[in-house]
Amino acid sequence: MKIKMGFAILVAGLLLSGCSGSKNVIYVDQLDLKQMESGWGQNHIGKSVDGNPLKIAGKTFERGIGTHAVSKFLVKIGGSAESFDGLVGIDDESSKPGTVEFMILGDRKVLWRSGIIKKGDIAKEVHVSLKGVDKMAMLVTDGGDDINYDHADWINARITYRDIAPTVTSLVQKEPYVLTPQNSKPRINGASIIGAKPHHDFIFRVPVSGKAPLKVVVSGLPTGLVFDAKNRSISGKAPASGVYEFTVNAENSEGSVSKKIAIRTDNGLSLTPPLGWNSWNCWGLSVDQNKVKAAADAMVSSGLADHGWTYINIDDGWEAAERTKDGVLLANEKFPDMKSLTDYIHSLGLRMGIYSSPGPKTCGGFQASYQNELSDARTWSKWGIDYVKYDWCSYGQIAKDQSLPELKKPYQLMRKMLNQVDRDIVFSLCQYGMGNVWEWGGEVGGNLWRTTGDITDSWNSMAGIGFAQSKSSSFAHPGNWNDPDMLVVGKVGWGPSLHPSHLTPDEQYTHISLWALLASPLLIGCDMTQMDPFTLNLLTNDEVLEINQDPLGKQAKQISNKDGIQIWTKPLSDGSLAVGIFNLGSDNGIETIRWDDQPNLQKVSLSATDLALTGKLKVRDAWRQSDIGEFDGSFEAQVPFHGVVLYRISPVK
């Protein structure tokens, strides 16, 4: 009887166990990794982020995922999972001082964190209970160091579950929303001051927006310059050294407006940050002449040119494999007639940019300018080039060391060569901030200089770069600009395949607002032939662009950083103050993930004292182009998660 009773209990137990579901295992690399964000590069299954075998502290692993901090992955497990298991560590391919922290989050709670892991540390074991968890997130943070070196590996990462298999869920994004109002009245946009060198070729497209048809009249031009009403461009030869003011009048059925613009031939080039397009973030090495021509056409047809966007810049991938026997640099078969292409871009009133490196080869392995600097400067001048991006790349093989003289040397040399040609060529230094380039970039003749590594379309890449720019702010002024890299809104891809930016709409407003406050060069990185209304709205808000193009040329500084809220201020030439209030979320890992589509608004109070102002304040919302009101004492703003409010604030007289 006892035996029968025991047998019955055993059978009942087995039946109950069967009812509750058997345990299953799914490896994370079996899920759709398209939704896994990487702070740089591309995630790989079974390989590191650079495409090498997964290797931690000298040990090679067959199965895992190679990514780069800051990395995020959100998985819906619906309360059915038992545990997460695996190993984590920094890949041996990382350069020092790579440090990261791995975290497993569940339903807005930290379930496990690795602590800081350094290069060379043995792989750390992970075992985390997931019982009752609805959404799990895998997060890799940068450990507080330079994210350029943080190549992180999830080894044998797997989820044990019952009944319901885990599924990937996107890092929730809000639907795009347009803040910039439509304006049918005529408006004269863009910079109020233009830099040029005496007696050089001059071109400037007058940026005017409003309901068509528009009548635009330019008066008071100095001798040697003429206005073509058809393409609204001023061209000819720049006058002698001095300051020359002319007037633009614009009229349509909604009204009329006028604006004075100054040409300065006594103070160098790029007196406001360059506005334009660069091919890299869109096409990478797959760029060709037709794509560049299409970008120029789109800059005009979309109306971007009417808001001050000017440059069409070709990045790497245009160069021929060999020079001529005389050492002249040629374009490859994708660019059959560079001079003709440049002439076409100039015919639209736009300017043309190109790319090279001081080393023997460019980053993409094409011909660069080493030992041919003067020849290349002359070739570019002959083609009509207006802008040169000069990328360090293979010059690291030439430089003796990383000393300041060696960092300066190739840029001093090319600037000297550019000065020997009779053409205005804006000089863009691209060497990723080495040696605190902001301290000496102007000294070697640069008009702008990269302060950071390459940007990608992730929150942590964009925010990690943008919010780290305070250290360089005092070195920005007219003709000399800190460059935190190109814009990652719209459709990007770094090659022939494109995708919509991974930044949420709120994050894209943050991106454009922050770059405007930083007086950064604004170089569009998307396919301009595929811009949707949201992207176009981001790039054509004239009050936001005015903040960037303000002739005082001051870069914003961070004045407050508390509880995930940062406040940045930028003095403007009319005595007002541009103020950006940013909601970065907490730094505990939880709020770096957008768990749902709730707005997560943060209330922020701001006073005149906070802004070093006195008395009553007039506050205007730059994105909505509307007055908020006058405030005596303080006022409040509601800032969305990873979003911004951008104000123009002035004392009431």
- In the structure encoding, which two tokens stand for residue 428, read together? 């863009």
Report the distance separating Cα 539 and Cα 70, nearest Å.
Answer: 27
Give residue 585's pLDDT: 81
- In the structure encoding, which two tokens stand for residue 420, read together? 């020997």
All residues at 6 or more sequence positions from 650 whose CB lies less than 8 Å from its CB, including other chains: 574, 575, 576, 577, 617, 618
Compute the average pLDDT of residues 40-67: 94
Convert the pLDDT of each residue in 398-451 to its tens digit. 999 999 999 999 999 999 999 999 999 999 999 999 999 999 999 999 999 999
Pick the closest to residue 482 from 492, 470, 491, 490 (CA basis).
Answer: 470
Higher-pLDDT residue of 165 and 190 is: 190
Give residue 588's pLDDT: 58
Give residue 508's pLDDT: 97
Convert the pLDDT of each residue in 244-298 to its tens digit. 999 999 999 999 999 999 999 999 999 999 999 999 999 999 999 999 999 999 9
Q: Is the pLDDT of residue 148 over 70?
A: no
Higher-pLDDT residue of 646 and 457 is: 646
Q: Is the pLDDT of residue 6 over 60?
A: no
Give residue 171's pLDDT: 61
Report the distance separating Cα 240 and Cα 237, nearest Å.
Answer: 9
% of the chain surpassing 90 pLDDT = 81
In order of start, what are the domains of the chain with their CATH numbers? 22-168 (2.60.120.1060), 187-264 (2.60.40.10), 275-551 (3.20.20.70), 559-651 (2.60.40.1180)
Give residue 577's pLDDT: 97
Q: Is the pLDDT of residue 364 over 80?
A: yes
- Residue 484: is the preceding peptide bond cis (ω within 30°)? no
When the pLDDT of each residue in the chain is averaged and rounded to a whole number, the result is: 92
CB 461 within 8 A of CB 467: no
Which of 15-19, 383-387, 498-502, 640-644 shows the highest mean pLDDT?
383-387
Q: Which long-range CB contacts under 8 A does 303-306 form with residues at least 24 apart?
A: 303/209, 303/536, 303/540, 304/524, 304/528, 304/536, 304/539, 304/540, 305/205, 305/207, 305/348, 305/349, 305/350, 306/189, 306/207, 306/208, 306/209
Convert the pLDDT of each residue in 467-489 to its tens digit. 999 999 999 999 999 999 999 99
Give residue 141's pLDDT: 85
Compute the average pLDDT of residues 8-21: 42
pLDDT band at 361 (very low <50, low <70, confident <90, very high): very high
- What type of residue sits at position 36? M
Give residue 245's pLDDT: 98
Model-wide pTM > 0.85: yes
Q: Which residues are known to be catalytic? A: 391, 454
Compute the average pLDDT of residues 510-525: 98
Compute the average pLDDT of residues 53-72: 94
Give residue 172's pLDDT: 58
Convert the pLDDT of each residue in 575-594 to its tens digit. 999 999 999 986 556 667 77
Report the distance separating Cα 376 and Cα 358, nearest Å.
Answer: 11
Give residue 41's pLDDT: 76
% of the chain surpassing 70 pLDDT = 94
Query: For 568, which DSSP code?
Result: E
Compute the average pLDDT of residues 142-163: 84
Report the distance separating Cα 636 and Cα 618, nearest Å.
Answer: 13
pLDDT band at 519 (very low <50, low <70, confident <90, very high): very high
- Low-confidence winner among 140-149, 348-357, 626-635 (lowest mean pLDDT): 140-149
Convert the pLDDT of each residue in 95-123 to its tens digit. 777 789 999 999 989 999 999 999 999 99
Give residue 14's pLDDT: 37
pLDDT band at 150 (very low <50, low <70, confident <90, very high): confident
Give residue 393's pLDDT: 93
Give residue 144's pLDDT: 66
